[in-house]
Every structure is written in C-alpha cells, then in structure tokens.
Amino acid sequence: MSARVTGAVARRVLRQLRRDPRTLALIVGVPCLLEFLLQQLFGRHSPVFQHVGAPLLGLFPFITMFLVTSITMLRERTSGTLERLMTLPLAKLDLLAGYGLAFALVAVVQATVVSLLAFGLLGLEVDGPKWVVVALAVANAVLGSTLGLFTSAFAETEFQAVQFMPAVVFPQLLLCGLFVARDEMATWLRVVSSVFPLTYAYDALARAAADTLDARFALDVAIVLGCIALALVLGAATLRRRTA
C-alpha cells in the first residue's frame, strides 16, 4: 500500500463528486430534510424525535455512502477503468482505502451540516457529547462505503446496484433496535440482528446520545471498526487483476 496512490484515488473520487453538484446537494440536503420532517411530524419536544433524531443522524451517512460508493465502483468496473488500474502499480487496498477516505471526508461535511441543523434549529438534545455522535456518523459512512464496494461486485448493472440498497440496508435498519428494542424481539430476530454491523452502530449511537460511554459502547465501536476492516478485505478479494 502507498500513501501517494491512496491519496491520488481519494482526490480523484472527490473531484468526480465535485463535478456532480446535484449529487452533493442531495447527499447533504436529503438527511436535513428528513430530520426536519421528523421534527415536524412528532414535534420538537416529543420523546420520539428526541429518541430517534440522533441515531438517524448517525445512520444516514451509512445509507448514502453505501449507495454512492456501490454505484461509483460499479462504474469503475463496467467502464474499463478498473481493468486499466489493475495494470498499474496500485495495490487493491490503495483503491479501496482511497474510496473510503474520500467518502469519509464527504461524510464529515454531511454529518456536520445535519448535526448543526438538528442540534441547532431543530432543538434535538442529547445527554452525551455531540462530537461523538458526529464521529460515529463518519465511522458509519466508512462502513457504508466499504460494504458498498463489496456488494458492487455482485451487481452487473446500476439497476441491480440500486436494489442492493434496500436488500442490504433495510433489514439492518429494521432489526438494529431503532424500531423495536432488541430484547423485545423474537429470539430468532435478535440472533439475526446480532450478525448485522448496523446493530452495533445503532447501539453505539444510542449510548452516545444517552451519555453511557461504557465498556459496551467501546465494544460496539470496536465491532464497527472490525466490520470496516472485514468489508475492506472482502472488497479487495472481489477485485481481480486477471479476468475472464
């Protein structure tokens, strides 16, 4: 791996995004709109908004970056640029880390803007430190990116890649504990949810919001980071220098 090559990939991905201001506006604007709708729907002081607002803020980047990364990577595969890159002195992890880095930076912007809105204008309150919520949002963005890179290998068209979003993300969202607490779920659902990375991402966010930064919180964060590493390795395994 090389810092120069990783940096070159990250810069290139960011330049491509800059060429597409509408996508950037959607990445930042859509979560803002959804937080606003949530606040309007339940009311500023309602326990629902206060309970759901912070975790959602931390989970949005996961969803957007999953989608954006899987499409970008699919384009790389289908346009022939990936084949070209595989003939260059570029390690597979350089490519994946470059993508992860670029989307992490986008996530910093996204999470910062959304949290300024939510914690400021919308009156969302958390007991724990707000920066931890933002930091977790960025980690979740990287997790989304790496999972997106991995799953893009199984899509042949952009239509398929888009469908992977609900397929991979929605079950995790439903079972992560946001809608029904995990200890109130049927046993088999709890078992299934225990293998989903988003479960731990949500738990960390909920603990950060409640200011319970305990050992369990540390374990959650460690699991999320471990999942990022695992997804990177799996993603690298789907990149082949030689193809049929």
Partner 1 sequence: MSAIRVERLRVIRGGTVVLPELSCEVAAGTVTGLLGPSGSGKTTLLRAIVGVQRVAGGVVEVLGDPAGSPRLRVRVGYMTQAPSVYGDLTVLENLSFFAGVLGVSTAAVQTAIDDVSLIEFGDRVVDRLSGGQRARVSLATALLGAPDLLVLDEPTVGLDPVLRRDLWELFHRIADRGATLLVSSHVMDEADRCESLLLLREGRLLAEGTPAELRARTGEQQLDEAFLRLVETEE
Identify the CA nearest to 102 among candidates 20, 44, 17: 17
DSSP result, 58-90: HHHHHHHHHHHHHHHHHHHHHSSHHHHHTTSS-
Contact 229, 79 (CB under 8 A): no
Which of 3, 195, 215, 244 contacts partner 1 by CB under 8 A?
Answer: 244
Q: Could you tell me the two tokens for 154?
A: 């199984």
Minimum separation from the CB atom of position 84 to partner 1 (A): 4
Minimum separation from the CB atom of position 114 to partner 1 (A): 26
Residue with Cβ nearer partner 1 (86 or 225): 86
Amino acid at 71: I
Which of 15, 44, 45, 216 contacts partner 1 by CB under 8 A?
Answer: 15
Minimum separation from the CB atom of position 185 to partner 1 (A): 44
Say whether residue 241 binds partner 1 (CB under 8 A). yes
For partner 1, the binding residues in 77-106 under the rule CB under 8 A are 79-81, 83-90
Distance CA 22, CA 67 (A): 15
Which range in 2-10, 43-51, 52-60, 206-214 contacts partner 1 by CB under 8 A? 2-10
Residue with Cβ nearer partner 1 (16 or 157): 16
- Residue 145 DSSP code: H
Distance CA 214, CA 197 (A): 19
Contacts of 140 (CB under 8 A, 6+ apart): 58, 59, 61, 62, 107, 201, 224
Residue with Cβ nearer partner 1 (8 or 213): 8
Minimum separation from the CB atom of position 89 to partner 1 (A): 4
Residue with Cβ nearer partner 1 (86 or 192): 86
Distance CA 60, CA 65 (A): 8
- String of contacts with partner 1 for each residue 45-84, x by CB under 8 A: ----------------------------------xxx-xx
- Residue 185 DSSP code: S
Distance CA 115, CA 136 (A): 12
Residue with Cβ nearer partner 1 (11 or 44): 11
Minimum separation from the CB atom of position 154 to partner 1 (A): 19
- Residue 162 DSSP code: H
Residues found near partner 1 in the complex (CB under 8 A): 4-5, 7-9, 11-12, 15-16, 19-20, 79-81, 83-90, 241-244
